[in-house]
Amino acid sequence: MDEKDALKKEIIKRFGTPCVVIDLDVVEANIARAQQLCDTAALANRPHIKTHKSPILAHAQLSAGATGITCQKLGEAEVMADAGITDIIIATNLLGAAQSGQLAALQRRLPLKCCADSAFTLTAYASAAHAADRPLDVLIECDTGQKRAGVETPDAVLALATIIQQSQWLNFAGLLFYPPLDGWQETQIFLDEVRAGLSAMGLEIGIISTGGTPNLANLGQLDGATEHRAGTCIFNDRMMLAAGMASPDDCALHVFTSVASRGGEARGILDAGSKTLTSDAGGLEGFGLIREYPDARIHKFSEEHGFLDLSDCRQQPQVGDIVRVIPNHVCVVVNMVDQLVAVRGNDIIEVIPVAARGKLV
Amino acid sequence: MDEKDALKKEIIKRFGTPCVVIDLDVVEANIARAQQLCDTAALANRPHIKTHKSPILAHAQLSAGATGITCQKLGEAEVMADAGITDIIIATNLLGAAQSGQLAALQRRLPLKCCADSAFTLTAYASAAHAADRPLDVLIECDTGQKRAGVETPDAVLALATIIQQSQWLNFAGLLFYPPLDGWQETQIFLDEVRAGLSAMGLEIGIISTGGTPNLANLGQLDGATEHRAGTCIFNDRMMLAAGMASPDDCALHVFTSVASRGGEARGILDAGSKTLTSDAGGLEGFGLIREYPDARIHKFSEEHGFLDLSDCRQQPQVGDIVRVIPNHVCVVVNMVDQLVAVRGNDIIEVIPVAARGKLV
């Protein structure tokens, strides 16, 4: 018998399927574990709320010891500020929000910390800070190998720091890193060179931030780092299983989904498709781990259906069965829904709004 | 000079980027074209609203001549019913909504047409109809080669039709097909065999529905068909360009996105990532067509960034430039946002809520 049968029946009766469910016991254990890893490395913990987009869960992270939060969008920061959270880094070039007036409006309410990797962004930030009549703290985003955003040389950091130093509307607040898993030594070399240059300019680095859930395994390896921002670890997902950062029991979020159709011996269809589980494969083969049928493969999506290859399954699910899926990438799944159903074990506790969902700007 | 410069400046000033924009002139032309194709084939037009999820646009389709609408989720039908739309087919096995009470609640308000491909679903439907105290019209979903949902043999159709016939809470309303592009002949054979069997049972087929925007090219090929449901054609997308169903000027929806960062000669980063454009490749190479830089390749996403490979571009975009992207798959992009900004040419007209977005059940 499936120990989750009673919960599944209650979920479909109250919410239908698909339904995105988090277990608060696992959430709390995950929050505590990330906090302890930061504490042990003597780093401030600044969780990235892009994963849960929920003020309730952000407050749980702060209560467990986090210093502040990281957002990816100005709109996310607005929602968190509305919930009384005041220590916020927004970890991207905010070109849209700077030009639409939203950055100025929020900066007028509370002092934000924003990130930049270009002179263009700094100019937009200075205008927004001027409009807000409050200087803006800026971290320079540095790329030490990910080939994502961020300046790629210490000289480029110093050039931007000079612009910040010369602007009456910008304060130099530090450096934002996302070191590649095997790139912490290169990051140290980069940081040391930047530090020497900034020191010669008379600038102190306030915050030195590193990021990423897989990098929780590397905390302590960057001399001078002051804080870490990790998002996914609050829930974990199939990517974190593949990275060895979590076991299935550390996965707090499951998509409860019904087998809506079969079709021959080896086929099945879930009522969760690309509009629920998303097409984000995260570099893995297939989409999602079905807890009850780990040998079933979700190999394709239509918008509201997940297509199962059951050819490796000894036991096969039947139409009407409800299964629990750990998604490949949990952050994008949360972003699909307006609410998370929160349980403890087999008891439904509350419904948590994903209040900062769908913020484009 | 870019003829869209003035509009881009207005969009970023009023809404920031990324911003999902539809051109109503193109939308209206697309609606008229689909209607005319159905009219010419003497078929009722029942557009699938999964693409736009907007009562305003559904009413535009009805005003142009559509008979009714198709929804994929009960929650979508609720929103459309709230907007006064009464002739609705819901084109999936509704297991979650049937068991959560939502199907019964809506069926109590207005007579729905639902689809099924299993006895399990029919049992759930009969319970819901009983709870609603109103018999439910049911179409049997048939699979003639797509390997999606649907029964795969005429005998299986007749078996389900027998169950429907014997239930006091179910009415047999017809057949739902989604013929493969090259499978209309097989669909005809299937239909003819089903028709003979149903006739022997004393059952008339009311609705014979076909589906899909690419199948608009095949209308008239199924003798007996009564209506067609197409979704994507209201906006079109890069998949429809690839299928030869649309030109770029027929694409009504663009994601306006800023170049947020560069990084070397061949790299660039858009402020639209997998949480805006989605990872739905739709079988194509790369994600999205950039109108201003058709040789730029969006080759990868992070959640809020689209990564550009500019190595084939003679001219390259700079940080702060705004570009217009036709997404690979428009239906999933609309599902990411709460509103569409509607323009005509270079004028912003209104903001259209995506009122039926994010309906899981």
Q: Which of A52, A78, A95, A309 is best to mutate for the B interface (most B CBs within 10 A)?
A: A95
Instruction: Note whether A260 and A246 are same-domain residues.
Output: yes
Instruction: Note whether B200 and B299 are same-domain residues.
Output: no
- Which residue is associated with the tokens 């739709």? B282
What distance in Å separates the CA atoms of residue B167 and residue A344, rounded to the nearest whole number? 40
Phi, psi of B139 (to 5 degrees): -100, 140
Question: Residue A1: what pLDDT?
Answer: 62
Q: Decide if B185 is inside a domain.
A: yes
Helix (H/G/I), strand (E/B), else coil: A234:
helix
Instruction: Note whether B168 and B258 are same-domain residues.
Output: no
Beta bridge partners of A267: A309
Instruction: Note whether B174 and B60 are same-domain residues.
Output: yes
Instruction: Note whether A175 and A298 are same-domain residues.
Output: no
Task: Round the average pLDDT of chain A to a whole number and report it.
Answer: 97
Answer with the one of B214, B234, B254 that is the final residue of a domain.
B234
Say if the Cβ atoms of B14 and A100 lie within 8 Å. Answer: yes
The domain in which residue A311 lies consists of 5-23+238-353
Which residues make Cβ contacts (< 8 Å) with residue B73, sequence separation at least 6?
Answer: A304, B90, B92, B97, B356, B359, B360, B361
Beta bridge partners of B300: B307
Say if the Cβ atoms of B263 and A147 lie within 8 Å. Answer: yes
Cα first-last separation, chain A: 47
What CA–CA distances, in Å, run from B95 to A79, B155, B199?
Answer: 34, 23, 29
Closest among A353, A337, A354, A264 to A17, alpha carbons compared: A337
Q: Decide if B333 is inside a domain.
A: yes
Answer with the one of A217, A234, A251 that is the final residue of a domain.
A234
What CA–CA distances, in Å, run from A252 to A280, A327, B328?
Answer: 19, 11, 32
Q: Count of CB atoms within 10 A of residue A251's CB?
A: 24
Instruction: Note whether A52 and A174 are same-domain residues.
Output: yes
The nearest CA of chain A is from the CA of B298 a distance in Å of: 13
Say if the Cβ atoms of A261 and B93 lie within 8 Å. Answer: yes
Instruction: Note whether A71 and A163 are same-domain residues.
Output: yes
Nearest CA in chain A to B276: A360
Please count the structural domains in chain B: 2
- Low-confidence stretches of chain A (pLDDT < 50) are none
CATH number at residue B268: 2.40.37.20
Distance of CA A314 to the CA centre of its chain: 36
The shortest CB-CB distance from B269 to any of A96, A149, A307 is to: A149
Say if the Cβ atoms of B147 and A320 lie within 8 Å. Answer: no
The nearest CA of chain B is from the CA of A52 a distance in Å of: 13
The shortest CB-CB distance from B100 to any of A12, A261, A278 is to: A12
The shortest CB-CB distance from B358 to any of A147, A305, A336 is to: A336
- What residues of chain A lie within 8 A of the CB of B320, using their CB? 95, 120, 124
Pairing mode of beta strands B88-90, B69-71? parallel
Which residues make Cβ contacts (< 8 Å) with residue B198, sequence separation at least 6?
Answer: B157, B158, B161, B172, B204, B205
Instruction: Note whether A68 and A209 are same-domain residues.
Output: yes
Instruction: Note whether B200 and B305 are same-domain residues.
Output: no
Condensed to tens digits (0 to 9), the pLDDT of residues A75-98 reads: 999 999 999 999 999 999 999 999
Q: Decide if A52 is inside a domain.
A: yes
- What residues of chain A lie within 8 A of the CB of B283, using their CB? none
Pairing mode of beta strands B44-45, B347-353? unpaired
- What residues of chain A lie within 8 A of the CB of B97, using their CB? 16
Q: Decide if A359 is inside a domain.
A: no
Say if the Cβ atoms of B278 and A278 lie within 8 Å. Answer: yes
Helix (H/G/I), strand (E/B), else coil: B308:
strand
Answer with the one of A183, A213, A234 that is the final residue of a domain.
A234
Instruction: Note whether B173 and B262 are same-domain residues.
Output: no
Instruction: Note whether A96 and A111 are same-domain residues.
Output: yes
Q: Decide if B360 is inside a domain.
A: no
pTM over 0.95: yes
Say if the Cβ atoms of B152 and A331 lie within 8 Å. Answer: no
What is the dihedral angle through the alpha carbons of A96, A99, A105, A111, rounded to the nearest 10 degrees?
A: 70
pLDDT tens digit at each of 361 positions of chain B: 689 999 999 999 999 999 999 999 999 999 999 999 999 999 999 999 999 999 999 999 999 999 999 999 999 999 999 999 999 999 999 999 999 999 999 999 999 999 999 999 999 999 999 999 999 999 999 999 999 999 999 999 999 999 999 999 999 999 999 999 999 999 999 999 999 999 999 999 999 999 999 999 999 999 999 999 999 999 999 999 999 999 999 999 999 999 999 988 899 999 999 999 999 999 999 999 999 999 999 999 999 999 999 999 989 999 999 999 999 999 999 999 999 999 999 999 999 999 999 999 9
Biggest CA–CA distance in chain B, Å, is 72
Question: Residue B263: what pLDDT?
Answer: 85
Say if the Cβ atoms of B279 and A275 lie within 8 Å. Answer: no
Instruction: Note whether B211 and B244 are same-domain residues.
Output: no
Q: What is the amino acid identity at position A90?
A: I
Q: Are A89 and A113 in contact (CB under 8 A)?
A: yes
The nearest CA of chain B is from the CA of A120 a distance in Å of: 7
Kind and range of the H or E element at B138? strand B136-142
Question: Residue B233: what pLDDT?
Answer: 98
Q: Decide if B358 is inside a domain.
A: no
CATH number at residue B108: 3.20.20.10
- What residues of chain A lie within 8 A of the CB of B12, using their CB? 95-96, 99-100
Q: Decide if A360 is inside a domain.
A: no
